[in-house]
Structure 1
């Protein structure tokens, strides 16, 4: 018999070869499948982050429009413009407009009549030129209040305001990979943010705005605020762009020579989805010169037409590099495991006659927390049954340990994400709060004057009310960004819930929704922060009312918690149940993410549930949700029994 035959007949060789073959098969399969899953997971995580970044970019874009509206509203609130019009001093009126434009950072500003005739404007040209053609002027005069938004201005309109604006608006399309062929000639129309505010004098409006073409303010603010101006391999990691149609007119995307990629165009598939169908694009896309993980949404003008796109994205190369590094570590680990497998096979072959000792050694390793010890090949004897039972026990223990570890990692990731977004929210909120305080203070000072006309007093009261509303939004950002200390006091749960329901009764009646409270049991006094907990309940009820059509029902229920579902812990449950539209399955895992919302743009900040979750968590409880599309939703607030104790650690 030759040497190969003699070696194959060796049990030790067979065990080693078999063990290595299995390990090689599993290792290669794991490498291929794991590598693919890892790549998809990395891209999915990147896409989720970019979608959140798009929400922040949208808020920065919209805040610029609101700042223009606010500047015009404040300007017409006083009597100076009325006095200048009465005096008929054109030079003084133009000087006042020039000063206002500089202070508000406006590119064009003027005073127009209802028919579009311009009475005064900044800029070098005479007034006898083209009349203003901004729909916001007519809208503001018709509504009797300031109006603003996105508009498209042609070259003639821009030149009438200032020839320099018309020259700045000229953008020559650049041939771009994966985009439609570049059209002949330059684009002369421009995307602008504009607003108008009606004066008390009938038929006149103050209008103004900024030109977005080649503007750096918004895109650079996004780069600094959202992406912290991070770089990767010498390139800017995160970028933002404002499109006119599919043409980049304002961007911090860089060309190979380092200049801004003005004139490059969006890829064909992105333009078809966002501009053609009005959808939101999220995922991998080719951006000018590079593949990036992107998010696009349409920009709609004041007439409801899709005129452009807002984009944010991050370099795919960073995530691809991270994937390759992880894959390399995975490959080296697999190779190392194969080497270990050879040694382990030899070791098992030598110890095949002593399975009991292996079980003892395995038991000792399990006692030290290792749930994957090797117990050796299963022998054909009664000991084999023992070995099989031991392996099944290890699998069960390992699976339980894995589930616990995954849950811990998931909670840690959520905490880190909320902490990061919280710091961003705190910075933005503090920056907004200071000018808001000034606006509100000066508004109230003006309201104390007794010589103001009734129309001006009414406008000032409107400004004060809207400023207070913005301050409440800022307070929501601050509540999310900091862990407010609980001011606990003994409280009866059912009266607290009943008070929250009573506060929302009128809102429910106005919408035609039946709102009722169903306490199933009286509970002992609990230590609660009444104000914060009532805020959580009101937020939950508001969300339920928003999701429920007229004729529907919202029920608030209190009941004892089920200890079997809480690891034996006693507690109390507060249920907010509605018969509304329900929640899509893909949104359930994101409900408590900061800035995530399914409401229309401008209808919510996406912070309510995140703040509520934080308040309940600081009480030692948790919020869960069950929902099916079309069948309503049930939010459950669980509070532990321990908060009844005076010694509970807050």
Structure 2
């Protein structure tokens, strides 16, 4: 560089009378002169203004060439003769604007500021730079970020541990209640089953909170249920003894009396079935009251726990990655709690429990009357396939159709969808390996009158299918009823013979994660419409669930059967139609 930058001073020279004699023109060459830049540096970056290892720098540029600087190169010498970057030159020299930004200066990144320098005649001749290294601040930023991250992780772990321990303490009394409920389900005739004092949230025993009150109420209901069962058993034994005495007397009479004796035996069987249904409805009454309280008291804290865990995850953002699996586990466990409560509540609203056989009084809360409409069964089947498609793909199953039904049926679309989903999910889970499931529909007439009363019994189809004549005939005159039959067929392991009589029993299940209420609720929904749900073996292995619904719903026919039976017994006559 053959040019120089001067600090120039012009001083007028006057005589004693104040006349201008001339001017003193002096200048200080700034090229390679470190004194000015060092003086400015000491003025700007005094002690304590920068971190311990931070050093301020000042540079004078002639055009874009460093002519005086305290920026050093790799050898530790002042970086004279080096040039500014093109971006800085364009903005400061070219546009006459200041440049304040992060910039790469000689050999490192600096927080830099550049300003243009003009000569006395306004010509832009260079620029001045001031800056300090970015590295100390970047290191300080990383250290601060590391400390904050460690604190957040520690707080997150502590929060997860606190939430997990709270869930465990909450689950202890729920598990205790669940064990007693399962014991009542498995051995309904066993006496003395009680929940007793619940495990506490603290070191002492729980006393006086909502779950404890629910447990006490449930124990009281179990005591009332045992008393009712004793009364029903005593009444049934008395009635059976009376019927047996009358049967013995009638056995000596004419053939007409023999027929009447057979009718009375049929009445005894129906009374026993009615007693079993009554016991089931008594249990549903107790479960209805219990689940109403449990559903409210458990879902509220479960929702609070779920909301706080999700809030923790949102607040932490990427910092929650080390405990993402634990947070997912907590959310999954809370969802399991809510699913269990929903299943219990759904079963407590079983439509079968909505009316008493004898006088029609309500025993438990029900879902209300179904919203009946004319439905084509094939349309319902196609809509259900969409709902279970994910489960089919997950297990690798295929679903085939053999849809030949032409009739419309009168049913509640939502309830029919629920039943078909339950049957298809059962078929999907019963098949251990990828399988081809089949769902069929066809028109089928059934011979119906006063039916046998078993929710899982199949209708007598002797009108259109003589092969089913092995099914017990109903006790009144048969009349053909138009309907539609739907079958869900799988080729899994099937249902063992000793379990077939229990699969429609409430809370009975063979799956570890099953609730045991799906088939019971499905059977109740179908029976309410006058239809039937039963099980058959699939040829070659597997299970076939058969569903028959009339074209016109026959609601409350079981209640009519019960009243007809009691009226016949009171009159001492036969159940046959005149």
Specify the TM-score bucket, using the shorter chain as the normaliser: 0.3 to 0.5
Higher CA-based Rg: 2
Greater relative contact order, per chain length (Cα 8 Å cut-off, separation 6+): 1
